[in-house]
Amino acid sequence: MKNRTVAAIDVGTTKVCTIVADFNEAGTPRIVGVGVAPSVGLHKGLVVNINEARESIRESVKKAEQSSNYKLESAYVGVTGRHVASLNNRGVVAITRNDRVVRPDDLKRVLSSAQSVKIPDDRKLLHVIPRSYVVDGQAHVKNPVGMHGFRLDVETHVITAAVTSIQNLIKCIRSIGVDIEDLVLEPLASSEAILTSDEKEVGVILADIGGGTTDIAVFKEGSIWHTSILPVAGYQLTRDVSIGLGLPFDVAEEMKKRYGSVMPVYESKTEDTTAISQDGHGVSYQDLCDIIRARIEEIMKLILLELPNSEYETLVPAGLVLTGGSSNLAGIAALGRDVLQLPVRVGAPSNMEGISDVLCDPAYATSVGLLAWGVNHERSQNWTRWSFGSAIRRMASRLKGLFG
């Protein structure tokens, strides 16, 4: 397999990020182009003005093309927004062949039987992710291919999205001449870039606190267990600061990023009690941080409400991993530990090859995750093609052995 190219477009509420990478047989991506543009025409993760959103996406794609010298034809694209819904479902098929051995074909059949949930016309199926298989009553099977059995069950996590919201996003991207390889739910993408397999195994929550939405994914026993999108994030923080302190929105945004912290003031190192913006607005440092801390605490409590409250400590002993631009706030992990009484860390993409410096920030977890998703997807497709090809070759050589 020679080097192949893959691209991802993360259309966020505050920025659009396009990444181009090539990858080799081993699957290690090397980033060859990045384009970031401020995003306009989006609200809470959704396209609200097609023309404006299209221009933001166009600018980001153009920058990525210029830096990589590669013409983008198709890309993996992230989906978020309150319209996304998820549920856990089951599917079952009988293994009727004489040998009763589970084949890759049976996995396809059982997954499609798990898709037979009634989905209303105004919703589109985004993902049907196998969580685990059961072969003749034996549960927790990760890969049943090759096992013997009469009956194969699958437990799946099914994610759907509102058709209209998806169509608006697709329209923006297609109209600039880029095809969509796959639509990927954003918290799944972020998880791909940030979570370790140990964390997913013991149980962990990933929360991407971006500009317009907080995207949540919960993993248990190595599989996705729950996904959800909350319509509160950094934008609401800035609005609170703006309203609470009587500042114009962009000054509030600047104050939040420059001086914002969720640490109690006595622990922070700022001795000066007034925070001054570039254009001379001054506010009490303590008031600024109190407002931000109150909203972040609220977001963390909302994250916890996604789990059954009595058992969250046993469900997610690996705690909470925070990504998204808002997780840059000083002291956020410590506050999380106070609220959740669990381990909390901030995750940023790391160990990437190529021109990746700008991406080493929690705000780019989704963008890098979409790329990782794309690489894995392309590799598994290749693998299927390859293993099918080699099965034919094996059969041919066996026949040759028999007859000649």
Ligand X SMILES: Nc1ncnc2c1ncn2[C@@H]1O[C@H](COP(=O)(O)OP(=O)(O)OP(=O)(O)O)[C@@H](O)[C@H]1O
Q: Which residues are at the interface with Mg ion (CB under 5 A)?
A: 12, 210, 366
282 is written with which tokens? 């001054």
Smallest separation (angstroms) from ligand X to the CB of 108? 33
Is the four-CA dihedral 321, 212, 42, 244 of positive or negative sign? negative
Residue 286 Cβ, how far from ligand X at the closest point, in Å?
A: 17
4 with 378: CB under 8 angstroms?
Answer: yes
Site string for ligand X, 277-296 (x = CB under 6 A): --------------------
Given ligand X, Mg ion, none, residue 41, with its beta carbon under 5 to 8 Å by kind, binds: none
- Find the part of the chain contacting ligand X (CB under 6 A) among 89-97, 191-199, 256-264, 390-398: 256-264
In the numeric block, the tokens 């999108």 are attached to 229
Under rule CB under 6 A, residue 14 binds ligand X: yes
Say which entry of Mg ion, ligand X, none residue 235 contacts (CB below 5 to 8 A, set by partner kind): ligand X
Tell which positions 58-117 bind ligand X, by CB under 6 A: 80
Q: Is 257 in the site for ligand X (CB under 6 A)?
A: yes
Q: How many residues bind ligand X (CB under 6 A)?
A: 24
Length of the chain: 404
Q: CA distances (Å), 120 to each of 86, 123, 160, 236, in order?
A: 14, 6, 10, 32
Name the one residue in this structure whose structure tokens are 């198709």: 74
Tell me the C-alpha distance between 120 and 125, whole Å: 10
Name the binder of 22 from Mg ion, ligand X, none, CB < 5-8 A by kind: none
Q: Is 149 in the site for ligand X (CB under 6 A)?
A: no
Max alpha carbon distance in the chain (Å)? 90
Q: Please identify which residue in 7, 12, 135, 342 interacts with ligand X, judged by CB under 6 A.
A: 12
Alpha carbon distance 181, 177 (integer Å): 13
Q: Report the first-to-last Cα separation within the chain, whole angstroms.
A: 32
Q: State which of residues 13, 18, 242, 356 lies at the interface with ligand X (CB under 6 A).
A: 13
* Residue 325 binding partner per list Mg ion, ligand X, none, with a CB distance cut-off of 5 to 8 Å that depends on partner kind: ligand X
Closest approach, Cβ 79 to ligand X, in A, equals 10
Q: Does 326 bind ligand X (CB under 6 A)?
A: yes
Only one of the segments 142-150, 154-162, 169-177, 255-263 lies at the binding site for ligand X (rule: CB under 6 A); that segment is 255-263
Position among 29, 149, 319, 325 found at the interface with ligand X (CB under 6 A): 325
Answer for which of 324, 331, 347, 349 binds ligand X (CB under 6 A) is 324
Answer for which of 5, 9, 15, 225 binds ligand X (CB under 6 A) is 15
Does 256 participate in binding ligand X (rule CB under 6 A)? yes
Nearer CB in complex with Mg ion: 60/366: 366
For ligand X, which residue of 91, 234, 347, 349 counts as binding (CB under 6 A)? 234
Identify the burial level of 362 via C-beta atoms within 10 angstroms of its C-beta, where 0-12 means exposed, 13-18 middle and 19 or more buried: buried
Among 45, 91, 354, 374, binds ligand X (CB under 6 A): 45
> Under the criterion CB under 6 A, does residue 260 sit at the interface with ligand X?
yes
Contact 122, 160 (CB under 8 A): no
Binding site for ligand X (CB under 6 A): 12-15, 45, 80, 210-213, 233-235, 238, 253, 256-257, 260, 324-326, 328-329, 363
